[in-house]
Structure 1
Amino acid sequence: MSVHILGIRHHGPGSARNVKAFLEELQPDIVLIEGPPEADSLLQWAGHDDLRPPVAILAYQPDSPQKACFYPFAAFSPEWQAMLYAKTHRIHARFMDLPLAHVFGMENEAAAKRAAGAQRDETQKEDETQSTTPDGETPPAELNNSTEEFTAAELDMEFLPRSPQDPVAHLAHAAGYDDGERWWEHMFEYRLGQEQVFEAVHDAMHALREELPRRYDRKEALREAWMRKCIRQAEKEMFQRIAVICGAWHAPALQTMPKQKDDNDRLKGLPKTKVECTWIPWTYSRLSYESGYGAGIPSPGWYEHIWEHPADDGTRWMALVAKLFREQQQDTSVAHVMEAVRLANALAALRHYPRPGLEELNEATLSVLCNGESILMQLIRDELIVRNRIGKVPTEVPTPPLQTDITRWQKKLRLPQTADFKDYTLDLRKDTDLERSIFLHRLQLLEIHWGKRFEVSGKGTFKEQWRLQWDPAFSIDIIEKGSWGNTVAEAATSFVINTANNTGTLQQVCKMLESAIPAELPAIVEVLIHRINNLAAASGDVLQLMEVIPSLVNISRYGNVRKTDAALVNNITESMIGRICISLPAACTAVADDAALPLLDLFFAMNDAINLVQDNELTGSWQETLLIISGNPQSAPMIAGYASRLLFDAKIMTGETLVKAFSVSMSVANPPALAAAWLEGFLRGSGTLLLLDEELWSMVHNWVSQLENDIFIQVLPLLRRTFSNFTAPERKKLGDKVKHGGNGTSIKATTTGDIDYERGARGIPVVMQLLGFKDAKLLPDGA
Structure 2
Amino acid sequence: MKNSAPNPKELDRFLRSLTECVKNNLIFFPIRHHSPACAWHIQQLILTEKPAVILIEGPADMTELIPFMLHERAKAPFAVYTTYIDTAKRLGELPEGNSLSSDAQRFAGYYPFCDYSPELVALRVGASVNAKLEFIDLTFAQQAIASHKHPNLDRATQTRALLEESYFRRSAYLTALAKKTGCRDVDDLWDHLFEANFQTTSTSSFIQNVAAYCFMARLDSPEPILETDGTLARERAMASAIQSIIQSTQQKIQPAEKILVITGGFHTVALPFLQESIQPLPKLILKPEEGQTVLMRYSFEQLDALNGYGAGMPAPEFYQRFWQELQKGTSNPLLETANQILVEIGNKTRAQTAGTALSTADAIAALEQARRLAAFRHHQAPTREDLLDGIRSCFVKGAMDGEGTILMSLVRQMLTGDRIGDLPPDVGVPPIVNDFREIARRLRFKIDTSLPQSLTLDIYRKVAHRQASRFLHTLHFLEIPFARIVAGPDFVQGRQLDRLQEVWEYRWIPQTESSLIERSLYGTTLETAAVYLLQQAIAQLEEMGKSRSALEAVRILLSACCMGLHAHTERLLDLIATNIAEDPAFISLVDAVSQLVLIWQSREPLEAHDLTQIPALSAIAYRRLCYLLPDLSNCSEEEGMGVLGRFGTVLELCQSDSTAFDPDLFYDGLHHLLATPQSHPTIAGGTAGILYRAGLLSESEIVTLGMGYLQSSIGSSTGRSPAGTSGQITGGAGFLQGLLYTCREVAWNVSRLLEAIDAQLQVWDDDEFLHVLPEFRLAFADLTPRETDKVAAIVAAFYQESDRQPELGDLTNRHFTEADLQFGLRLEQLLTESLQHDRLIR
> Could you tell me the TM-score, scaled by structure 2's length?
0.70
Change (3 A) 1:244 1:540: same
* SS at 1:10 equivalent: coil
* 8 Å Cα contact 1:410-1:416 kept in structure 2: yes
Residue number among 249, 272, 296 corresponding to 2:312 in the alignment: 296
Residue number among 67, 71, 76 corresponding to 2:111 in the alignment: 71
Summarize deviations over 1:673-710 as a string: whole Å, max 9, x none: 444333322333896x47xx953468548845873384
Residue number among 562, 565, 568 corresponding to 2:613 in the alignment: 568
Q: CA RMSD in A?
A: 4.3
Query: 5 Å matches for 1:518-533?
Result: 518-522=562-566, 524-533=568-577
Summarize deviations over 1:528-556 as a string: whole Å, max 9, x none: 33334444444434344345443333223
2:294 maps to 278
Change (3 A) 1:543 1:340: same
Mapped to 2, the partners of 1:106 and 1:330 lie a distance apart of 49
Shift of 1:515: 0.3
Summarize deviations over 1:125-172 as a string: whole Å, max 9, x none: xxxxxxxxxxxxxxxxxxxxxxxxxxxxxxxxxx99997565865256
Where has structure 1 moved over 6 Å in runs of 4 or more?
62-65, 109-115, 159-163
2:464 maps to 432
1:221 maps to 236
Shift of 1:492: 2.2
Stretch of structure 1 that moved more, 670-679 or 398-407: 670-679
* 8 Å Cα contact 1:53-1:73 kept in structure 2: yes
* SS at 1:473 equivalent: helix
1:53 aligns with 2:91: no
* 8 Å Cα contact 2:315-2:416 kept in structure 1: yes
1:490 aligns with 2:534: no
State the number of aligned residues. Answer: 686
Change (3 A) 1:164 1:372: closer
Change (3 A) 1:681 1:284: farther
Query: 5 Å matches for 1:238-387?
Result: 238=253, 240=257, 242-251=259-268, 258-259=275-276, 262-263=277-278, 266-273=279-286, 276-289=292-305, 293-308=309-324, 310-312=334-336, 314-326=338-350, 327=352, 329-334=354-359, 336-338=362-364, 340-341=366-367, 344=370, 355-359=381-385, 361-362=387-388, 365-366=391-392, 368-369=396-397, 371-373=399-401, 375-376=405-406, 379-380=409-410, 383-387=413-417
Gaps of 5+ in 2: 1-23, 88-104, 156-161, 325-332, 490-495, 714-728, 801-842
2:475 maps to 443
Change (3 A) 1:206 1:55: same
AA of the residue aligned to 1:73: F
* 8 Å Cα contact 2:61-2:135 kept in structure 1: no
Shift of 1:465: 3.0
1:465 aligns with 2:478: no
1:393 aligns with 2:423: yes
1:104 maps to 141
Residue number among 163, 187, 191 corresponding to 1:181 in the alignment: 187
Stretch of structure 1 that moved more, 305-314 or 444-453: 305-314
Mapped to 1, the partners of 2:599 and 2:586 lie a distance apart of 20
* 8 Å Cα contact 1:701-1:742 kept in structure 2: no
Shift of 1:370: 5.0
Residue number among 607, 614, 622 corresponding to 2:666 in the alignment: 622
* SS at 1:91 equivalent: coil
Shift of 1:512: 2.0
* 8 Å Cα contact 1:626-1:643 kept in structure 2: yes
Residue number among 416, 439, 457 corresponding to 1:409 in the alignment: 439
Residue number among 707, 710, 716 corresponding to 2:761 in the alignment: 707
Shift of 1:35: 2.8
* SS at 1:684 equivalent: helix
Shift of 1:329: 0.8
* 8 Å Cα contact 1:644-1:653 kept in structure 2: no
Shift of 1:379: 2.4
Query: 5 Å matches for 1:599-638?
Result: 599-608=643-652, 614-630=658-674, 634-638=678-682
* 8 Å Cα contact 2:76-2:113 kept in structure 1: yes
Shift of 1:573: 3.3
Summarize deviations over 1:630-681 as a string: whole Å, max 9, x none: 5656332322333344456xx5238xx4533442344474647444333322
Residue number among 26, 32, 38 corresponding to 1:15 in the alignment: 38
Mapped to 1, the partners of 2:374 and 2:581 lie a distance apart of 76
* SS at 2:81 equivalent: strand
Query: 5 Å matches for 1:117-132?
Result: none
* 8 Å Cα contact 1:13-1:78 kept in structure 2: yes
Summarize deviations over 1:401-454 as a string: whole Å, max 9, x none: 333333332232223424233232222332322222233333334333433234
Shift of 1:383: 1.9
2:584 maps to 540
AA of the residue aligned to 1:483: L
Gaps of 5+ in 1: 119-158, 747-783
Change (3 A) 1:344 1:595: same
Query: 5 Å matches for 1:77-96?
Result: 77-86=117-126, 89=128, 91-92=130-131, 94-96=133-135
Shift of 1:12: 1.6
2:631 maps to 586
Shift of 1:338: 4.8
Residue number among 687, 697, 718 corresponding to 1:643 in the alignment: 687
AA of the residue aligned to 1:479: I
Change (3 A) 1:661 1:390: farther
Stretch of structure 1 that moved more, 204-213 or 27-36: 204-213
Residue number among 677, 686, 700 corresponding to 1:660 in the alignment: 700
AA of the residue aligned to 1:332: A
AA of the residue aligned to 1:224: A
* SS at 1:246 equivalent: strand
Shift of 1:365: 4.5
* 8 Å Cα contact 1:302-1:358 kept in structure 2: yes
AA of the residue aligned to 1:282: Y
Stretch of structure 1 that moved more, 314-323 or 408-417: 314-323
Shift of 1:24: 4.3
AA of the residue aligned to 1:331: T
* 8 Å Cα contact 2:318-2:337 kept in structure 1: no
* SS at 1:679 equivalent: helix
* SS at 2:741 equivalent: coil
Mapped to 1, the partners of 2:240 and 2:656 lie a distance apart of 71
Mapped to 1, the partners of 2:486 and 2:743 lie a distance apart of 28
* 8 Å Cα contact 1:340-1:364 kept in structure 2: yes
Change (3 A) 1:660 1:312: farther
* 8 Å Cα contact 1:30-1:243 kept in structure 2: yes
* 8 Å Cα contact 1:104-1:272 kept in structure 2: no
* SS at 1:588 equivalent: helix
* 8 Å Cα contact 1:403-1:479 kept in structure 2: yes
1:199 maps to 205
* SS at 2:301 equivalent: helix
Stretch of structure 1 that moved more, 297-306 or 402-411: 297-306
Mapped to 2, the partners of 1:165 and 1:573 lie a distance apart of 64
AA of the residue aligned to 1:552: L
AA of the residue aligned to 1:424: L
* SS at 1:104 equivalent: helix
Give the structure with the larger helix fraction: 1
1:677 maps to 734
Shift of 1:724: 3.9
AA of the residue aligned to 2:302: R
Stretch of structure 1 that moved more, 580-589 or 732-741: 732-741
Residue number among 780, 785, 788 corresponding to 1:731 in the alignment: 785
Change (3 A) 1:470 1:605: farther
Mapped to 1, the partners of 2:554 and 2:603 lie a distance apart of 14
Mapped to 2, the partners of 1:347 and 1:401 lie a distance apart of 52
* 8 Å Cα contact 2:168-2:174 kept in structure 1: no
